[in-house]
């Protein structure tokens, strides 16, 4: 087992599980700063953002200065910094304990591309319920109803390795039949799963009873401790280890979702570029998947959660960054409490391993396939049109394993949308309009989907105005929707209301010297 010395700093509460549980991840912040290609000289990316850790930094170096070299280490050690992790295979850099003044001095060095503060993330509670799992039954058929069977290739993903970047795996659980090992534990504790999360995820990927790919090998990559805490450093270290140690056809499951972390995203993108397929959970905040890491990495396969009626889970993150939906509500799998235990959980953490298992099945037959080819192959056999209650702009794609995909004509809600960009104006209100016609008086709610991109969305005042002049406040300084990107759905109960006429989305930016725009919004009845 490759271990890592225990971290000496306050560990980040990982939104990792956040991903997994229905309540969603209780992130330290709704989102993070979008990273440019490099930090301006003498500046620290994301300095002071909620969730950052005082005295702990991630340093990225220029390509011609290897982080593991004497010259690379000297860049921080000569300024008084203490290196706690070195990243060799993904980002070229390391984690460093140092003062803010030392970090600013390092950031000013021309051989340094970026200095970012380490970030803290909080693990969400898991939801335990009793109903039996239905996910395997759903993924092998194009449409409902379920047929009480799961048909899969006889090889069962043999010859493929799935790396579970998570809380650890109980490798002795009977689900794994001796196919599970501990590969990396940042905390040097043998890969023990003290959160009952990674084991559940791993068994959905490759468990003998609950798994998609029943003959695939499992390797635990433990980056979250038994209290549910991790840092950007621990997660990047795990990704770095996978990149340097994976052999043969491999797929990585990352059922975690943390506030936007550019260093982690860069590490995952680099690992994918090395030829390893990554499946990641979209997160459970009911907002845009792009606000989470690594869900916003374009090269990764990002997965949202659906229930047994083919309805998107209300907590699932959404938007164009989601590549697939998969079963993620009331999913039963292995539990880490003993070698025979099971547990039922909800969340995109449970949805992602279904797709990871499907990727393993494909890789068993196409062992040299690239990550892009794996994604395209899964997309070709997916079901389109089957999902209900999807917000505007979210792909209607449901996981399906089989020789070919299909389309299901499920009646969808009448939808009226406006996707013309409307830039915000400092200290003024801008308006986007939607004309609704041909609708009967409402017998149910109207769903308002809003997508706004802004440098400081936290400042915005956003309201929707109905044709009769009635307004509903959605966001304000007292009702914070997001830090940088709003992608949410609101439910407005207006029984008996005539919805025909002009609806308005009014956005006021009370601040100066920031920018953004209304990207799109829609009304669903």
**pLDDT, tens only, 125-148:** 433 333 347 999 999 999 999 988
Rounded distance, CA 150 to CA 165, Å? 26
Pick one of 3.20.20.140, 3.40.50.200, 3.40.50.720, 3.40.50.10310 as the CATH number of 135-407.
Answer: 3.40.50.200
What length is written for the chain? 525
Give burial (CB, 10 Å; 0-12/13-18/19+) of 248.
Answer: exposed
Tens digits of residue pLDDT in 370-400: 999 999 999 999 999 999 879 988 999 999 9
pLDDT at 49: 79
Torsions phi, psi for 508 (to 5 deg): -110, 130
**DSSP 8-state assignment for residue 457:** G
Check 220, 349, 375, 432 and give the catalytic one.
349
Rounded distance, CA 396 to CA 318, Å? 11
Residue 488's pLDDT band (boundaries 50, 70, 90)? confident
Rounded distance, CA 158 to CA 155, Å? 6
The pair of three-digit structure tokens given for residue 180, joined into one six-digit string: 């599970």
Whole-prediction pTM: 0.79
| Stretch 182-187: mean pLDDT | 97
Residue 410's pLDDT band (boundaries 50, 70, 90)? confident
Lowest mean per-residue pLDDT among 47-51, 76-80, 161-165, 487-491: 47-51
User: Is 210 an annotated catalytic residue?
Assistant: no
CB 305 within 8 Å of CB 325: yes
Tell me the CATH class for 415-524: mainly beta
Rounded distance, CA 385 to CA 377, Å? 18
Check 97, 109, 140, 166 and give the catalytic one.
166
| Stretch 285-298: mean pLDDT | 92
Check 121, 173, 197, 484 and give the catalytic one.
197
Tens digits of residue pLDDT in 316-348: 999 999 999 999 999 999 999 999 999 999 999
Say which residue the tokens 């005295």 belong to. Answer: 55
135-407 matches 415-524 in fold: no
27: pLDDT strictly greater than 80? no
Q: Which residues make Cβ contacts (< 8 Å) with residue 315, sequence separation at least 6? A: 22, 23, 24, 284, 285, 286, 305, 346, 347
Q: Which residues make Cβ contacts (< 8 Å) with residue 467, sequence separation at least 6? A: 436, 498, 499, 500, 501, 502, 503
Residue 28's pLDDT band (boundaries 50, 70, 90)? very low
Lowest mean per-residue pLDDT among 27-31, 205-209, 462-466: 27-31
Q: Chain-wide mean pLDDT for the chain?
A: 88
114: pLDDT strictly greater than 70? yes
User: Under CATH, domain 29-119 is a member of which superfamily?
Assistant: Peptidase S8 propeptide/proteinase inhibitor I9 (3.30.70.80)
53: pLDDT strictly greater than 60? yes
pLDDT at 1: 43
199: pLDDT strictly greater than 60? yes
pLDDT at 122: 55
Rounded distance, CA 427 to CA 412, Å? 38
User: Is 166 an annotated catalytic residue?
Assistant: yes
Torsions phi, psi for 238 (to 5 deg): -65, -45
| Stretch 264-288: mean pLDDT | 96
Residue 478's pLDDT band (boundaries 50, 70, 90)? confident
Kindly list the domain boundaries of the chain, sorted by start residue: 29-119, 135-407, 415-524
Rounded distance, CA 223 to CA 200, Å? 16
Choose among 436, 498, 437, 487: nearest CA to 462: 487
| Stretch 350-372: mean pLDDT | 97
23: pLDDT strictly greater than 90? no
Q: Going along 123-248, which residue ranges are E strands? A: 161-166, 180-185, 217-222, 229-231
User: Is 454 an annotated catalytic residue?
Assistant: no
- Residue 430, SS3? strand
Choose among 304, 335, 284: nearest CA to 124: 284
């Amino acid at each position: 087992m490759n271990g890592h010395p225990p971290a000496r700093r306050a560990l980040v509460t990982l939104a990792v599980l956040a991903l997994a549980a229905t309540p969603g991840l209780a992130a330290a912040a709704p989102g993070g700063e979008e990273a440019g290609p490099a930090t301006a000289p003498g500046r620290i990316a994301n300095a002071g953002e909620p969730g950052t850790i005082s005295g702990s930094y991630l340093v990225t170096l220029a390509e011609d200065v290897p982080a593991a070299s004497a010259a690379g280490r000297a860049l921080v050690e000569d300024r008084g910094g203490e290196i706690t992790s070195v990243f060799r295979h993904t980002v070229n850099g390391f984690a460093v304990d140092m003062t803010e003044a030392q970090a600013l001095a390092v950031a000013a060095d021309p051989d340094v591309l970026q200095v970012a503060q380490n970030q803290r993330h909080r693990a969400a509670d898991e939801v335990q319920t009793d109903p039996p799992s239905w996910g395997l039954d759903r993924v092998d058929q194009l449409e409902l109803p379920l047929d009480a069977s799961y048909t899969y290739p006889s090889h069962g993903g043999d010859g493929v390795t799935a790396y579970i970047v998570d809380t650890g795996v109980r490798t002795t659980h009977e689900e794994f039949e001796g196919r599970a090992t501990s590969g990396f534990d940042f905390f040097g504790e043998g890969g023990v799963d003290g959160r009952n999360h990674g084991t559940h995820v791993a068994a959905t990927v490759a468990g003998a009873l609950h798994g998609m790919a029943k003959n695939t090998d499992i390797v635990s990559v433990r980056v979250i401790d038994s209290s549910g805490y991790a840092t950007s450093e621990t997660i990047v270290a795990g990704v770095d280890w996978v990149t340097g140690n994976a052999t043969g056809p491999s797929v990585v499951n990352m059922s975690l979702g943390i506030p936007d972390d550019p260093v982690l995203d860069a590490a995952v993108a680099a690992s994918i570029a090395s030829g390893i397929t990554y499946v990641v959970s979209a997160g459970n905040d009911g907002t845009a998947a792009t606000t989470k890491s690594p869900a916003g990495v374009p090269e990764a396969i990002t997965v949202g959660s659906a229930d047994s009626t083919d309805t998107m889970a209300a907590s699932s993150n959404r938007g164009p960054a989601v590549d697939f939906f998969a079963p993620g509500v009331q999913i039963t799998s292995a539990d880490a409490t003993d070698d025979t235990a099971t547990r039922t959980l909800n969340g995109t953490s449970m949805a992602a391993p279904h797709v990871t298992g499907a990727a393993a099945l494909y890789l068993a037959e196409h062992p040299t396939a690239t990550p892009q080819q794996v994604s395209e192959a899964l997309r070709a056999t997916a079901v389109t049109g089957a999902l209900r209650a999807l917000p505007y702009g979210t792909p209607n794609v449901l996981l399906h394993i089989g020789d070919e995909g299909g389309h299901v004509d499920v009646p969808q809600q009448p939808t009226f949308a406006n996707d013309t960009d409307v830039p915000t104006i400092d200290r003024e209100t801008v308006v986007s309009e939607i004309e609704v016609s041909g609708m009967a008086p409402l017998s149910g709610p109207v769903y308002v989907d809003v997508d706004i991109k802004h440098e400081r969305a936290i400042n915005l005042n956003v309201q929707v105005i109905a044709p009769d002049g009635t307004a509903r406040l959605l966001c304000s300084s007292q009702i914070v929707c997001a830090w940088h990107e709003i992608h949410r759905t609101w439910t407005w109960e207006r029984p008996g209301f005539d919805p025909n006429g002009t609806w308005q989305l009014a956005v006021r930016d009370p601040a100066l010297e920031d920018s953004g725009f209304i990207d799109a919004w829609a009304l669903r009845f």
